[in-house]
Structure 1
């Protein structure tokens, strides 16, 4: 199986939540090895993980590979890539420059890997739906709501109005009023936030088109979304996945914003000039 090495880490991370706890532990053991090469045997990996050969093969297939050899080849190629080397754990002994370098590199890795797995057909469809929508409602809680607000702000700058809902009741009220000409964008890192899922499901039942932005391509929210856009990020004990994933998701939505604006560039440019002029008086001269 010939795949882009940059996508391997993302591919494994996105499918890990669908594994059993034992399978996830085995994956962490395998991916944590620094001595893996093309000669590493199935038996060696199985013994190191404390499971059978058959279990390793089963896990490799659940991760989307043809078998252990395919998984081994992909993992070795990924570990040798420039993208994989960007991430490193933060330790108590790190200096300020170490912290800055590691945090920035983790963000760069998230952006690089997200770009490598981005579904361009889904991207184009999301842009088309958002450009043609009568109403654009964005759903998200916590950090996801901050992404929604950033996108809504950008759209307003080019004259495309949208609404952000970060409360479970308000999301449901919004969803109850939507119809076939409307679009919902649901932001959920885990893709399993019940409040966001419930509102997205109701919006879809009422005919609205639904777009999900999540970190996992088999998360529950993907089952009720017309369009799925995935970010990916490697977590760490201190930062978690959310920090880097948020940056990747902001980049996805920045690209969506540009794509939407490009569809009616003259209008976007005109509206941008008007909105910029409206706040110009608030700047110190």
Structure 2
């Protein structure tokens, strides 16, 4: 990974996206690096190896596994990232935090997730996703738990502009729906971890039937991402109290809001007409002002 032309906000996310590929011992080394308060370009390889309780050779191996040319490249990138304003936003939540501190930390964590997701988003993939969703005959959205709620949110937005989709959150319904898709259709899988088996199975079946596949995930090397024609990645730094999902959800919703606008833009006249019609249809369900 070269720093030349690389947005500094993208360094942390690109490392985090590769963490699932590491063994527990390798993961401990990365946690040791990011846990050092005075980490800089002068931090010695021997210090990291000693603090993590591993060999220097293993530290170098991990740096290469994370996409860097070697330890020095890894050290420079991490040092630059740690000094960046975006990285400084992250503060760990504590059970002793006041309500004011909780609000401050949660908001800053979400802002960091938005800033870093924007830094890593693949614009070409985003444009292809908008084209496919706009022209598809059928649009199947698959997700379970919190990811299903995200799928429902964007499905609701698309319906407002006349772009119909179906959301499936049951493993059997996903497979039944995927079995009926073909080359003119698209299956969109939603999974923060990229390891939700129900979503993986459905996307895999849709792909076998010739449907195009898009996934929204936090890890671009996950099993789900490997099945996709297009991967849209969010990123969020974990927290013992919040986990990753909370902040990642904010980033994913923003990706999908942008995707909604991009799809609408491809036939703005039709989108505007359909938006007026769907808004008019629900006006009677709103209480008039007194």
TM-score by length of 1: 0.99
Q: Which of residues 42, 45, 49 in structure 1 aligns to 2:48?
A: 45
Matching of residue 225 in structure 1 with residue 221 in structure 2: no
Residue equivalent to 2:177: 174
Residue equivalent to 2:85: 82
- Whole-Å Cα distance in 1 between the matches of residues 7 and 226 of structure 2? 26
Q: CA deviation at 1:120?
A: 0.8
Aligned residues: 285
Residue equivalent to 1:20: 23
- Per the alignment, in what secondary structure is the counterpart of residue 188 of structure 2? strand
Matching of residue 145 in structure 1 with residue 141 in structure 2: no
Q: CA deviation at 1:38?
A: 1.2
Matching of residue 241 in structure 1 with residue 244 in structure 2: yes
- Whole-Å Cα distance in 1 between the matches of residues 95 and 254 of structure 2? 30
Equivalent residue runs for 1:49-64 within 5 Å:
49-64=52-67
- Whole-Å Cα distance in 1 between the matches of residues 37 and 13 of structure 2? 18
Q: CA deviation at 1:46?
A: 1.2
Residue equivalent to 1:190: 193
Matching of residue 8 in structure 1 with residue 11 in structure 2: yes
Residue equivalent to 1:214: 217
Residue equivalent to 1:32: 35
- Per the alignment, in what secondary structure is the counterpart of residue 110 of structure 2? helix
Q: Tell me, which stretches of 5 or more residues in structure 2 are unaligned?
A: none
Q: Which of residues 150, 163, 168 in structure 2 aligns to 1:165?
A: 168
- Whole-Å Cα distance in 1 between the matches of residues 261 and 12 of structure 2? 28
Q: Tell me, which stretches of 5 or more residues in structure 1 are unaligned?
A: none
- Whole-Å Cα distance in 2 between the matches of residues 7 and 195 of structure 1? 30
- Whole-Å Cα distance in 2 between the matches of residues 153 and 45 of structure 1? 49
Q: CA deviation at 1:252?
A: 0.6
- Per the alignment, in what secondary structure is the counterpart of residue 83 of structure 1? helix
Matching of residue 155 in structure 1 with residue 162 in structure 2: no
Residue equivalent to 1:104: 107
Residue equivalent to 2:126: 123
Residue equivalent to 2:203: 200
- Whole-Å Cα distance in 2 between the matches of residues 4 and 46 of structure 1? 28
CA contact (8 A) 2:29 2:48 kept: no
Q: Which of 140-149 and 33-42 deviates more? A: 33-42
- Whole-Å Cα distance in 2 between the matches of residues 89 and 223 of structure 1? 32
